[in-house]
Amino acid sequence: MVPPVAVSPLIKTARYSALIVGIIYGKMRYDHLKPIAAEERRIEEEEKKAREEHERIAKQLAEASEDTILK
């Protein structure tokens, strides 16, 4: 087997510091994005309720103003 190569210390430090910086960055970005997504979901819920309310009222009006007696 090919003997293992002696990696230069600069490359080793760069790799592991990139790994640690990446972990920190991922955690910080996740913590930043989580409340924003929760807020968006809440707003979506409210708008959906308002929209469904309007649709229900519109449907009732449409049904009430139909002229056909065939149902």
Query: Would you tell me which residues interact with other proteins (CB under 8 A)?
Result: 1, 4-16, 18-30, 33-34, 36-38
Residue 25 beta carbon to other proteins: minimum distance, rounded to whole angstroms: 6
Q: Which is nearer to other proteins, 16 or 58 (CB)?
A: 16
Q: How far apart are CA 23 and CA 68, in angstroms?
A: 66
Q: How far apart are CA 49 and CA 43, in angstroms?
A: 10
Residue 44 beta carbon to other proteins: minimum distance, rounded to whole angstroms: 14
Residue 16 beta carbon to other proteins: minimum distance, rounded to whole angstroms: 5
